[in-house]
């Protein structure tokens, strides 16, 4: 194998493919590597942990066909620090030579025959405008759990609704629901559960083109844009009945400027360490944030807003509340509550396509 390629292309390719490699090699060390194959002037790079596979094609200056599995983390780090310009790769026996300017690296390769074979699954294909997906993924994906002990909650539910596609994610402490009207990739009443890790990778490539191809199979899904294919296994199991968690009516309503609330939260949060909750005191006379840290002190800040309802004090995990505010897009937002223990709803004022549900924290 022998080829040349510009650093910019290689750095982008290897850093993306590396996201599919496992953090720990486990029982199959070859998965820590990236599969690299050259045929004429086409370079194919694969990263995989068997659940998630990323495949990228690029045009290169091919001089000799061949294939190798190169340690992924080290390869990406080497390319990142090399000078701009062309980088050459030459495979000799079980060693790959990487040269750029005055720099030269020689790396031992991994057994290429041990790397899993890749076959892109088939299924019904749909095409979605990336503009509608980018913000939706940003709003929903971070609400999914990262705890593999509850794999169902590490996924994002894709559900066919009457007016289009719905995305839902929850980690049991907060939940994000986003509708994408007019988007259809599923059959009537059909649902699939896609790992949030895979959608996080898809989110990173949405600026590559105006459209994304989606293929949904029985057990796998493919997201394809330009020269990049992301293949993920679907999560099996029953997602929680999220509709039953949404309060039908909240009697208390706060309308407030998003940026002002976010800024105040960031300041008060300085005295809310190690997940110390921030209290939100609301009445028709005042709206106030309060953080109390034992043995350190407390912080308070009064903020302007319009409140209707009963006088109430409700406490939230500040990071979760900030996450919700970060992804709202309207100038003014609405926080609806029932009492200090029931789920609160955060949403943009007069915006119905996104809802962020947040569980309060019990405080004395």
Distance CA 286, CA 46 (A): 57
List the CATH number of the domain containing 34: 3.10.150.10
Is residue 230 located within the same domain as residue 298? no
User: Tokens for 62?
Assistant: 């091919």
Does residue 286 form part of some domain? yes
pLDDT digits (tens, 9 = 90+) for 330-356: 999 999 999 999 999 999 999 989 999
Q: Is the dihedral of CA 126, 130, 132, 136 positive or negative?
A: positive
Find the helix packing angle between 196-205 and 7-17, rounded to 10°.
160
Q: Is the dihedral of CA 306, 311, 315, 320 positive or negative?
A: negative
Does residue 120 form part of some domain? no
User: Tokens for 58?
Assistant: 């690029």
Which H/E stretch holds residue 224? strand 220-225
Does residue 212 form part of some domain? yes
User: Are residues 284 and 252 in contact, defined by beta-carbon separation less than 8 angstroms?
Assistant: no
Adjacency order of strands within the sheet including 278-282: 297-302, 287-293, 278-282, 312-316
User: Are residues 22 and 204 in contact, defined by beta-carbon separation less than 8 angstroms?
Assistant: no
For the stretch 291-316, what's the b/e string if a residue is b when 16 or more beta carbons lie within 10 angstroms of its beta carbon? bbeeeeeebeeebebebebeebebbb
Is residue 85 located within the same domain as residue 171? no
Considering 215, 244, 273, which residue would you say is the last residue of a domain?
Answer: 244
Is residue 233 located within the same domain as residue 263? no
Which residue stretches of the chain have pLDDT < 50?
A: none
Considering 218, 244, 270, which residue would you say is the last residue of a domain?
Answer: 244
Distance CA 326, CA 310 (A): 27
Is residue 234 located within the same domain as residue 264? no
Give the list of residues 6+ apart from residue 55 with CB closer than 8 angstroms, or none.
17, 44, 45, 46, 118, 120, 228, 229, 230, 231
User: Are residues 16 and 58 in contact, defined by beta-carbon separation less than 8 angstroms?
Assistant: no
Is residue 323 located within the same domain as residue 262? yes
Is residue 132 located within the same domain as residue 226? yes
Is residue 70 located within the same domain as residue 99? yes
Is residue 154 located within the same domain as residue 232? yes
Distance CA 222, CA 89 (A): 30
pLDDT digits (tens, 9 = 90+) for 61-118: 999 999 999 999 999 999 999 999 999 999 999 999 999 999 999 999 999 999 999 8
Does residue 103 form part of some domain? yes
Which H/E stretch holds residue 254? strand 252-257
User: Are residues 310 and 273 in contact, defined by beta-carbon separation less than 8 angstroms?
Assistant: no
For the stretch 143-176, what's the b/e string if a residue is b when 16 or more beta carbons lie within 10 angstroms of its beta carbon? bbbeeeeeeebbbbbbbbeeebbbbbbbbeebbb
Is residue 215 located within the same domain as residue 169? yes
Distances (CA, A) of 16 to 19, 73, 227: 6, 11, 12
What's the pLDDT score for residue 26? 65
Work out how many domains the chain is built from and give that number: 3
Does residue 119 form part of some domain? no
Is residue 265 located within the same domain as residue 237? no
Per the structure, the complete domain to which residue 109 belongs is given by 2-114
User: Are residues 214 and 125 in contact, defined by beta-carbon separation less than 8 angstroms?
Assistant: yes
User: Tokens for 49?
Assistant: 């942990």
Considering 244, 273, 298, which residue would you say is the last residue of a domain?
Answer: 244
Does residue 66 form part of some domain? yes
What's the pLDDT score for residue 92? 94
pTM above 0.85, yes or no: yes
Does residue 363 form part of some domain? no
Is residue 33 located within the same domain as residue 88? yes
């Amino acid at each position: 194998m022998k080829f040349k390629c510009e650093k910019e292309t290689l750095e982008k390719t290897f850093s993306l493919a590396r996201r599919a490699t496992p953090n720990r090699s486990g029982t199959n060390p070859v998965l820590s590597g990236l599969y690299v194959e050259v045929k004429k002037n086409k370079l194919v790079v694969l990263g995989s942990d068997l659940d998630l596979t990323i495949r990228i094609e690029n045009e290169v200056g091919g001089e000799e066909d061949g294939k190798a599995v190169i340690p992924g983390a080290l390869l990406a780090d080497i390319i990142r620090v090399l000078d701009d310009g062309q980088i050459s790769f030459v495979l000799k026996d079980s060693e790959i030579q990487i040269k750029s300017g005055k720099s030269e690296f020689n790396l031992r390769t991994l057994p290429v025959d041990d790397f899993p074979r890749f076959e892109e699954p088939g299924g019904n294909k749909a095409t979605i405008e990336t503009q509608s997906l980018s913000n939706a993924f940003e709003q929903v994906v971070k609400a999914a759990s990262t705890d593999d002990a509850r794999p169902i909650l590490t996924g994002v539910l894709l559900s066919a609704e009457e007016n289009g596609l719905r995305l839902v994610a929850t980690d049991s402490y907060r939940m994000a629901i986003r509708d994408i009207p007019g988007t259809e990739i599923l059959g009537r009443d059909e649902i699939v559960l896609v790992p949030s890790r895979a959608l996080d990778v898809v989110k990173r490539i949405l600026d590559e083109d105006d459209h994304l191809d989606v293929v949904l199979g029985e057990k796998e899904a493919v997201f394809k844009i330009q020269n990049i294919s992301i293949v993920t296994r679907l999560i099996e199991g029953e997602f929680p009945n999220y509709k039953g968690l949404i309060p039908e009516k909240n009697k208390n309503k706060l309308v407030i400027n998003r940026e002002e609330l976010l800024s105040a939260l960031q300041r008060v949060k300085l005295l809310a360490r190690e997940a110390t909750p921030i209290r939100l005191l609301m009445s028709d006379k005042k709206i106030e944030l309060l953080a109390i840290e034992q043995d350190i002190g407390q912080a308070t800040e009064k903020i302007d807003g319009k409140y209707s309802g009963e006088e109430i004090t409700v406490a939230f995990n500040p990071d979760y509340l900030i996450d919700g505010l970060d992804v709202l897009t309207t100038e003014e937002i609405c926080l609806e509550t029932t009492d200090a223990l029931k789920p609160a709803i955060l949403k943009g004022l007069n915006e119905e396509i996104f809802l962020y549900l947040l569980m309060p924290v019990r405080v004395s």
